[in-house]
Amino acid sequence: MKIATIRLREYYDHASITEQAIIDFVLNHPDGASKMTIYKLAEETFSSPSSIIRLCKHNGFSGYKEFSKSLIYEQAIRKTYKNKEIADVIKADYIDEIVNKVTNKNILSLEETTNLLDFDVLNQCVEMIYDCEKLVIFGIGASQIVAKDAQLKFTRLNKMAYVSEDWHTQLLMARNMTPKDCGIVISYSGQTTEMIECAKTAKANKAPIISLTKYGSAPIIDLADHNLFVAANEYAFRSGAMSSRISQLNLIDIIYTAYVNMQYEKSIEILEKTQIRKELDRDD
């Protein structure tokens, strides 16, 4: 499915002044524009039907009819996920239905996770990471993917972060933590036995803990000093993290970016230094 607003945004810098006026109106009033005839849209944008048709074709549409249909569909999808009416994937779904359901479920998860964020808590978490001597990140299964992403990001900024694929090694790292260190425990359910054990061990050593879990109550939440939540809206057949993993990765990106901003100039200098440049392949 062609996403009309995305295509218009990408084309904007290449558009004529008349086309930019049409694009501005559509992007600012997508719901209203989707219900207009070509003549009404031309009137509202002080343009002509031929200019609108030309804009549609420049963006890969056969004409205004296909463009309008795409815009209507896009607005319907946005209303659907905002109203939390996204159905589960079923066996009879075609590939386009699967694409739309999974994509919009992820979008909904990101939006709901943003609404769950407590900015004061988030700021305290970033400061805790900034002040710690050693950052230890815990996670198994799909959460370990998120943990390793966080490790790579912070290591690049010369903030030594530690993750192990082996749970016993994670437990050993927890046993060696001190009050000067900081732990991030990642678990969608907040009830993973191994992660509870690591959190208890780090807590016994008086190391501060940040939890990344779904919203609700869970043992890991009770053990943590600060809690960050992701939306709890996985598919019913969840056999592996899907939208929750996207939201967890987004939270890590937010924490990382806020960390960079705490020492912006220094961080940019370190990022330049640690960038691994790849030479372009050349034909001899």
Residue 26, pLDDT score: 94
Question: How many whole angstroms separate alpha carbon 15 and alpha carbon 21?
Answer: 9
What is the band of 108 on the pLDDT scale with cuts at 50, 70, 90?
confident
HSE value, Cβ hemisphere, 13 Å, CA-based, for 15: 23
Angle between helices 4-11 and 64-82 (to 10 degrees): 110
In terms of domains, do 177 and 261 share one?
yes
Is 109 within the bounds of a domain?
no
Two structure tokens written together for 49:
């039907």
8 Å CB contact between 177 and 187: no
Across the chain, what does the average pLDDT equal? Answer: 86
Domain that holds residue 213: 114-274
In terms of domains, do 180 and 77 share one?
no
What is the band of 280 on the pLDDT scale with cuts at 50, 70, 90?
low
Q: List phi, psi (to 5°) of 161.
A: -120, 145
Residue 263, pLDDT score: 83
In terms of domains, do 159 and 62 share one?
no
8 Å CB contact between 248 and 188: yes
In terms of domains, do 72 and 188 share one?
no
| 192 pLDDT higher than 60 | yes
Mean pLDDT computed over 111-126 = 86
Residue 284, pLDDT score: 45
Is 95 within the bounds of a domain?
no
Does the pTM exceed 0.85?
A: no
| 273 pLDDT higher than 80 | no
In terms of domains, do 154 and 43 share one?
no
Is 175 within the bounds of a domain?
yes
What is the band of 63 on the pLDDT scale with cuts at 50, 70, 90?
very high
Q: Tell me the per-residue pLDDT of 125-155, one tens digit each, with 9 for 90 and over.
A: 999 999 999 999 999 988 999 999 999 999 9
Question: How many whole angstroms separate alpha carbon 45 and alpha carbon 20?
Answer: 10
Residue 82, pLDDT score: 56
> How many structural domains compose the chain?
2
In terms of domains, do 173 and 217 share one?
yes
Residue 92, pLDDT score: 76
Mean pLDDT computed over 51-61 = 93
Two structure tokens written together for 65:
């009819």
Question: How many whole angstroms separate alpha carbon 15 and alpha carbon 184?
Answer: 47
| 88 pLDDT higher than 70 | no
Q: Which helix (H) or strand (E) holds 196?
A: helix 193-204
Beta strands in the chain, from DSSP E residues, in sequence order: 135-138, 161-162, 182-186, 209-214, 226-230
Residue 279, pLDDT score: 66
Contacts for 76 with CB less than 8 Å, ≥ 6 apart: none
Domain final residue, candidates 35, 61, 83: 83
> Among 75-79, 98-102, 164-168, which is the least confidently predicted range?
75-79
**H helix intervals, 117-188:** 119-131, 142-156, 167-175
Is 281 within the bounds of a domain?
no
| 241 pLDDT higher than 80 | no
Beta strands in 69-202, from DSSP E residues, in sequence order: 135-138, 161-162, 182-186
Which residue is it, tokens 């939390």?
A: 84
Is 106 within the bounds of a domain?
no
* CATH code assigned at 215: 3.40.50.10490
User: Does 92 or 62 have the greater pLDDT score?
Assistant: 62
